[in-house]
Amino acid sequence: MALDSTLRFSSRVDDYVKYRPGYPAEAIHLLRERCDLAPQARVADLGSGTGILTALLLEADAEVFAVEPNPGMRAAAERLLGARRGFVSVAGTAEATTLEAQSVHLVVSGQAFHWFDPGRTRAEALRILRRGGWAALIWNEAPEEPTPFLSDYDALLLRHAPEYEAVRSLRAREEGIREFFGAAPERAVFANRQIFGFEGLKGRLMSSSYAPEPGTPQHEPMIAGLRELFERHQRGGEVVFPYRTLVFFGQP
């Protein structure tokens, strides 16, 4: 099973742009209040993807180096954000950003750190951070108490997406987070959600790297199951897709 993040999202860029969740305003406020996110601050967004977090950092008037190895994801961010002041697209990885030493005030990663090598990413963060710099790792994760809809959605993925369990087990792992920071970081949790009709819910599913793609044996049964799930849980033609946004932050 290939879990190489530099390749596995290439066919999912459009769905990723349209259907992946953003991050709540409270998370960005935390970065401002605790992690020195300020106007003209230089920020490295590692594994920046299509620019979901990058866009919010630009709104805070930061200069953002969007470091992304996947050409399709990087091109989408350039298309969406290329005209924005402060946006710098970088073809690099979390472990080898190509950024200058001691050049940034803050290192962040949204929904991507689980694809990185924690030790090598720590070494690179220490290299590019200025003295006293900060880091923050952010994920949109399932709530601790899942809703009936999310429980059924999870069961659908376990039935039809062979890679789901392996990818799910990677996210927000305490040992990797601690290795990156060099100690247990501070942690904050915020509520977040999306509201979808069926096509939006389908797009959200297909933006996930583990979802079987059209032409594979599990794709049609999965979509049929998703339709049945949607009809069972929808209210007024919509379902609520809840998250808890986790923010781990500190000075590496």
Q: Are 185 and 246 in contact (CB under 8 A)?
A: no
Query: What mean pLDDT is predicted for residues 178-200?
Result: 97
Interval 58-98: pLDDT, tens: 999 999 999 999 999 999 999 999 999 999 999 999 999 99
CA atoms of 34 and 28, how far apart (whole Å): 10
Q: Are 251 and 146 in contact (CB under 8 A)?
A: no
What global pTM score does this model have?
0.92
**Which DSSP category does 114 fall into?**
G
The ranges assigned to domains in the chain are 5-144+167-193+243-250
Q: Is the pLDDT of residue 163 over 60?
A: yes
Alpha helices (H) along the chain: 5-8, 13-19, 25-34, 52-59, 71-81, 118-128, 148-160, 164-170, 174-181, 198-206, 219-233
**For the chain, what's the residue count?**
252
The pair of structure tokens assigned to 137 is 């790792």
CATH number of the structural domain 5-144+167-193+243-250: 3.40.50.150
